[in-house]
A = this chain, B = another copy of it.
Amino acid sequence: MKTYSIGEVAKELNLTVYTIRYYDKEGLIPFVERSESGIRLFKESDIAALNVIECLKASGMPIKEIKNFIDWCSEGDATLQQRYDMFMERKATVEAQMAELRKTMEVIEHKCMYYQTALEAGTEDIHKQKNIAASIPASR
């Protein structure tokens, strides 16, 4: 079976070798086998597992919680429920993150328009005028 070196895996996953060794130290990839001389030999399935780890990381999960999941995987079918629950919870947090990003985007888009208008006018005062203008009728 073909295997890959840590450098090859790092390049493929856009990680540094330091990061992969750090993940190993933290117990995220206990399944990676070694050559007689101690060199890590990554199988295709190990790379797939690293991709899942990257996905969990992208979902905002801290390394220690990812380790829990990896431990559950090693424990077999007895932990299927935990793993299912974990992914359902991940789904909920990612949905929440998407909702927050949409809110953030709204504010940013509003600011883009604000500065576009200000740029066209050559001054930010154009926005302050709005309120002054609105107050004129009352002052008449």
Q: Which residues of B contact A52 (CB under 8 A)?
A: 107, 111
Report the interface size class on chain A.
Answer: 35 or more
Please tell me how many copies of the chain the complex holds. 2
Interface of chain A residues 12 through 70 with chain B (CB within 8 A): 51-52, 55, 58-59
Q: Is the interface of A mostly helix, strand, loop or mixed?
A: helix
Interface of chain A residues 78 through 127 with chain B (CB within 8 A): 80-81, 83-84, 87-88, 90-91, 94-95, 97-98, 100-105, 107-109, 111-112, 115-116, 118-119, 122-124
Nearest first, the 8 A-B pairs at minimum CB distance are A84-B115, A55-B107, A58-B104, A87-B111, A87-B112, A77-B123, A90-B108, A94-B105
Q: A59-B104, A91-B109 are in contact. List 4 more A-B contacts (CB 8 A).
A: A52-B107, A55-B107, A94-B105, A95-B105
